[in-house]
Structure 1
Amino acid sequence: MSTLRTDYSIERLHERQQGKLPDLLGVRVIALKEGSLTAELTVRSDLLAPNGFLHAATVIGLADTSCGYACWAHLPQTARNFTTIELKSNFLGTCTEGTIRAVAKSVHLGRTTQVWDATVSVPDGKTIALFRCTQMVLY
């Protein structure tokens, strides 16, 4: 079973995202601990769909980034990286402003695969999406 690596920090994750999609979305990691990671982003007009509501891709971007960063921080010591092999999301609500938060939690931290669940919510605690992804650990 993998555990949280001491060589990964919130600062290191933020450095790695510079100029990449998580940076464009405005993802901010706010907590990293054993078996979980919490991140958020501020909803902006350019992250909305043409119908005026939060674009599903924005929600998936936050959830997938949260799970991916958590996976990175929990890779086995001899692993060199990971890649997503499956993801799924269910949308339960939406928003048009404010901040959304994703809490990623480990379900399985194996030597060859990891499974992560993320719950995306708005500030009042209402869940707007449930997300699951499976990561293949690369050696």
Structure 2
Amino acid sequence: MSERFTEQQVEELKRHTKDTLIEHLGITYEELSLDKVVMSMPVGPKTHQPYGVLHGGASVVLAETAASIATAININPETHVCFGMEINANHIRSKKDGIVTATATPFHKGRTTMVWHIELTDEQNKTICISRCTVAVMEKKG
């Protein structure tokens, strides 16, 4: 596999997000490589909690999505599948509107698990949330 995904591979990934939470929240792909995945999400009514700021759960969705995509591009999709196994998040500062960007980089890339560090930042590169996500890698059955 090449270090960078082709446009065709990116389009295939995007097709799999149709009618999912990823599409509903407006999460987009910004950069894909084997050791770095960058995704963005708008902050607004769809991602707000009742006080009008970014919901922590929406931040976790973005973080896990980045980690899951990062794992998916590091495995053979013909023989393996991946699933989020554990995630934690520390919410550093609030955000009312604009864009939040998640950058996932690897702590560990193994045969059966991958662990990713994900930092969510705003447009001024200020940290909004930090997260660590473990993703299980399993052989497809049947």
Q: When the two structures are superposed, what TM-score results if normalisation uses the length of structure 1?
A: 0.90
CA contact (8 A) 1:3 1:35 kept: no
Give every structure 1 segment of 4 or more consecutive aligned residues whose post-TM-superposition deviation is greater than 6 Å.
none
Residue of structure 2 in register with 1:69 after alignment: 69
Provide the alpha-carbon RMSD of the alignment.
2.1
**Residue 54, structure 1, aligned to residue 54, structure 2:** yes
Report the number of matched residues: 138
CA 4–138 in structure 1, closer or farther in 2 if over 3 Å, else same: farther
Deviation at 1:98, TM superposition (A): 0.5
What's the counterpart of residue 120 of structure 2? 120
Residue in structure 1 matched with residue 33 of structure 2 by the alignment: 33
3-state DSSP of counterpart to 2:37: strand
| Structure number with higher relative contact order (C-alpha < 8 Å, ≥ 6 residues apart) | 1
- 2:103 aligns to what SS in structure 1? strand
For 2:70 and 2:34, locate their aligned partners in 1 and report how far apart those are by CA, in whole Å. 9
Kindly indicate whether the alpha-carbon contact (under 8 Å) linking 1:3 and 1:76 is maintained by their aligned counterparts in 2: no
C-alpha change, 1:51 and 1:77, in structure 2 (3 Å) is closer
Give the C-alpha shift of residue 47 in structure 1.
1.4
Structure 1 portions without partners, runs of 5+: none
Write out aligned runs for 1:85-104 (5 A): 85-104=85-104
Q: How far apart, in 2, do the equivalents of 1:97 and 1:28 lie?
A: 16
Report the TM-score, using the length of structure 2 for normalisation. Answer: 0.88
Query: How much identity, in percent, do the aligned residues show?
Result: 25
Structure 2 portions without partners, runs of 5+:
none
SS at match of 1:9: helix
Contact 2:34/2:70 (CA < 8 Å) preserved in 1? no
1:45-87 deviations in Å (ceiling 9; x for gaps): 2211101111111111111101111110011576420112211
CA offset digits 1:4-60 (Å, max 9, x no partner): 686883222211110011111111011001211000011122211101111111111
